[in-house]
């Protein structure tokens, strides 16, 4: 039955309208594990006591591409998982990557997580999680394989678009409400990829060498927040190695830190094909093995899933006593806990799928995440009521961006392309024309395309160039990194030609990564539009037309040159084919630019508006605090322009003197406020010892060192508007 789409168990549950019907059919003396009113831990122990060894082992590995087994004898259902963090992936065949060709699995595409991070709005992250959780629940999925919170270490990583930027504090504050939103639907988030999965080159085996400070200060905080604040029910291990152990069964990461220090009570799921050894998988923290031999099962075993490391090999060693049964019991406890939180929770809502409401949610997220990088001469916004000739140039204006990219690929109910959105907003008054300008096809004469576009640009009132990257290999795509920091397909030459033909040029970049901009000084207006999902075109056009005032801020630094990035400058990427050493330590992103005094192309936290904001002085409620105390900082922000707008007020802390090297400043707070023209609000931050701490790798603990500190408040990491000094005293 190689091509089965759903097992009998899942089909029966679907037909019965979920497990609530199953509960209703139970006899008067319901077993404890089936009684949803009993504490989950009692239910877990009762179910575990009734299971055979074979049934326990069956729960610890895949039975299809995206499911693991239940216990039909006990009425315990399978666990069905789905990619990904931006939308619910189309159904796949039972054990092949080919699409199942369903007619009812066309989803809503939500913006990529770089766009969500660019909103700097935790409330929006919760809304995002709620909506995508509803879609996963409607499709009867128990686990959503996301979100991703790996740190943006360098702009070549092909999966950066799936993550939440370069700063651990920003990623932490955005992932927690996302998790809450998803899990409110009785669907588990599976936060990934734990940990240090910061490149796609050699990802299946590269061993990451990183100091303990960088591990704890940069690469772990978002995962820690996901566990301890978000309460995520699942974590996905990474492909790479750390301390020469694969991360999907890594003693230090999974047992010592995740399940030990952080008291994680959920399930660790391997990345697909990330499991390599039965003994290590058994003892080093993995709970469910997925995707081993993930090439479509080309080995053609009739019982391929029994060959998984946590399948028959695991069972044999258990029966021989080579592995204690307590090991499998602990895994099954976690799996049962997940099941009772999701598929065996009769109170989980029914969800909804590909609705108009979800499309509008996707549009709002995209609108709020779009970043206005530059707007000299106030070329934007364009009044949609004014007659004008608009030329749209660029293949990305008519290119679907919801398909491709690897595991984030989607089959969408609809995708409004930039070309369509521009027509929707400007078509009534403007004459809109299109030129391809460049092509992905290397056989096409790009010089001819460029010349045609430049000639057309000379006849237009305004030119909207829509370019950037795409979801193809060696761009923003899983399993490969970018080969260059430059825009592909001769786009730089095209932009230069368009600017020479017409000074009224708006460059719109669709990407999940920073790109080089050798033309930055010649172009008046630049917009970073990300991958905007189902409503990308309408969201973009609403910004161009001024219906929505841009308020997005960059979640990572745009360096001028690739060599300005720390990993590249220190020759710490991609490694030697076996190891990669993070020589930059804690100095990632803006921390590195500050340390080296390198001016970025566009800094972390940067983003313009169609209005202006004035900041008052930063005021502290007192100038001293002790490690058990906290102080508050307040700053007034006023909309000094003529349009309603939103500003992200950012708090950075500076340690004036410390025993160990520290960044010049670190983000430790942010608030997004919406202000009408002339309106003023006071934004207040709380500063405690945790915000002042660094990880001391000599003591293996967090330290808040007494001394002088400064609080810097601004509109970006470079645009600091006010400062205030205070002292942390010795307790």
Structure tokens, 719: 């645009």
Peptide bond into 195 cis (omega under 30): yes
Structure tokens, 628: 């058990």
271 annotated active-site: yes
Is residue 89 within 8 A of residue 407, CB to CB? The reply is yes
Rounded Cα–Cα distance for residues 448 and 631 (Å): 63
Rounded Cα–Cα distance for residues 610 and 378 (Å): 8
Rounded Cα–Cα distance for residues 638 and 191 (Å): 38
Count of C-beta atoms within a 10 Å radius of residue 470: 22
Q: Are strands 389-393 and 462-468 parallel, antiparallel or unpaired?
A: parallel
Rounded Cα–Cα distance for residues 618 and 632 (Å): 10
Contacts of 601 by beta carbon, 8 Å cutoff, 6+ apart: 514, 516, 517, 520, 558, 559, 560
- Which is the catalytic residue, given 83, 105, 167, 271? 271
Rounded Cα–Cα distance for residues 562 and 514 (Å): 10
Rounded Cα–Cα distance for residues 606 and 457 (Å): 30
Is residue 88 within 8 A of residue 107, CB to CB? The reply is yes
Biggest alpha carbon–alpha carbon distance for the chain: 81
List the beta strands (DSSP E) in 186-255: 188-194, 207-209, 234-237, 241-242, 245-246
Rounded Cα–Cα distance for residues 562 and 521 (Å): 18
Residue holding tokens 């031999």? 293
Structure tokens, 682: 């006071």
Structure tokens, 133: 């959780």
Q: What is the DSSP string of 319-332?
A: HTTSS-HHHHHHHH
The 3-state DSSP class for residue 202 equals: coil
Nearest to 222 by CA among 282, 288, 128, 148: 148
Is residue 396 within 8 A of residue 421, CB to CB? The reply is no
Rounded Cα–Cα distance for residues 160 and 152 (Å): 6
Q: What angle do CA 33, 38, 40 make, to 5 degrees?
A: 70
Tell me the H-state helices in 232-324.
Answer: 278-283, 312-319
- What pairs with residue 666 in β-bridges? 653
Point out the residues that are catalytic.
Answer: 271
């Amino acid at each position: 039955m190689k091509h089965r789409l759903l097992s009998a168990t899942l089909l029966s549950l679907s037909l019965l309208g979920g497990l609530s019907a199953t509960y209703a059919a139970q006899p008067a003396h319901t077993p404890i594990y089936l009684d949803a009113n009993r504490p989950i831990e009692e239910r877990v122990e009762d179910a575990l006591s009734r299971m055979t060894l074979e049934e326990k082992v069956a729960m610890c590995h895949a039975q299809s591409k995206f499911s693991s087994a239940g216990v039909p004898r006990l009425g315990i259902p399978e666990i069905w998982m789905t990619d990904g963090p931006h939308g619910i992936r189309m159904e796949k065949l039972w054990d092949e990557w080919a699409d199942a060709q369903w007619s009812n699995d066309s989803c809503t595409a939500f913006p990529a997580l770089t766009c969500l991070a660019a909103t700097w709005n935790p409330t929006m992250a919760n809304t995002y999680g709620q909506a995508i959780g509803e879609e996963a629940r409607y499709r009867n999925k128990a686990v959503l394989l996301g979100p991703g919170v790996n740190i943006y270490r360098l702009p070549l990583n092909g999966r950066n678009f799936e993550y939440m930027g370069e700063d651990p504090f920003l990623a932490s504050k955005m992932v927690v409400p996302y998790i809450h939103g998803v899990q409110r639907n009785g669907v588990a988030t599976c936060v990934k990829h734990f940990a240090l999965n910061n490149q796609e080159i050699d990802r299946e085996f590269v061993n990451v060498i990183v100091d303990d400070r960088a591990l704890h200060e940069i690469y772990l905080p978002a995962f820690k927040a996901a566990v301890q604040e978000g309460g995520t029910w699942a974590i996905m291990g990474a492909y790479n190695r750390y301390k020469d152990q694969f991360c999907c069964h890594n003693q230090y990461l999974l047992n010592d830190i995740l399940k030990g220090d952080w008291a994680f009570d959920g399930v660790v799921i391997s990345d697909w094909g990330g499991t390599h050894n039965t003994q290590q998988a058994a003892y080093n923290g993995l709970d469910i093995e997925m995707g081993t031999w993930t090439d479509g099962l080309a080995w053609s075993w009739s019982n391929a899933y029994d060959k998984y490391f946590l399948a028959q090999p695991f069972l044999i060693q258990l029966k021989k006593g080579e592995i204690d049964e307590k090991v499998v019991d602990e895994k099954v406890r976690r799996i049962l806990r997940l099941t009772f939180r999701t598929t065996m929770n009769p109170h989980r809502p029914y969800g909804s799928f590909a609705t108009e409401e979800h499309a509008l949610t996707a549009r709002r997220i995209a609108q709020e995440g779009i970043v206005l990088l530059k707007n000299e001469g106030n070329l934007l916004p364009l009044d949609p009521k004014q007659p004008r000739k608009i030329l749209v140039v660029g293949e990305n204006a008519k290119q679907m961006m919801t398909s491709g990219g690897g595991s984030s690929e989607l089959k969408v109910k609809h995708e409004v392309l930039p070309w369509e959105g521009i027509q929707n907003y400007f078509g009534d008054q403007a004459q809109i024309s299109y030129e391809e300008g460049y092509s992905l096809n290397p056989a096409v004469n790009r010089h001819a395309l460029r010349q045609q576009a430049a000639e057309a640009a000379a006849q237009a009132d305004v030119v909207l160039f829509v370019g950037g990257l795409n979801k193809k290999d060696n761009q923003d795509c899983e399993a490969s990194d970018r080969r260059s920091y430059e825009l592909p397909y001769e786009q730089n030459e095209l932009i230069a030609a368009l600017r020479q033909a017409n000074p009224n040029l708006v460059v719109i970049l669709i990407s999940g990564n920073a790109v080089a901009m050798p033309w930055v000084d010649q172009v008046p207006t630049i917009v970073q539009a990300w991958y905007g999902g189902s409503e990308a075109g309408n969201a973009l056009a609403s910004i161009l037309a001024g219906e929505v005032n841009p308020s997005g801020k960059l979640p990572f630094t745009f360096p001028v040159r690739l060599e300005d990035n720390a990993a590249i400058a220190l020759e710490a990427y991609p490694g030697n084919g076996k190891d990669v050493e993070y020589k930059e330590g804690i100095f990632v992103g803006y921390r590195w630019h500050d340390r080296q005094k390198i001016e970025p192309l566009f800094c972390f936290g940067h983003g313009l508006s169609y209005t202006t904001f004035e900041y008052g002085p930063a005021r502290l409620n007192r100038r001293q605090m002790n490690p058990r105390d906290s102080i508050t900082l307040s700053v007034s922000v006023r909309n000094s322009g003529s349009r309603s707008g939103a500003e992200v007020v950012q708090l950075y802390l500076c340690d004036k003197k410390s025993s160990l090297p520290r960044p010049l400043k670190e983000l430790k707070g942010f608030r997004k406020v919406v202000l009408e023209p002339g309106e003023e609000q006071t934004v207040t931050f709380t500063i405690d010892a945790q915000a002042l701490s660094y990880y001391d790798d000599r003591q293996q603990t967090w330290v808040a060192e007494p001394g002088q500190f400064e609080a810097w408040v601004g509109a970006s990491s470079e645009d600091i508007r006010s400062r205030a000094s205070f002292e942390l005293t010795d307790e």
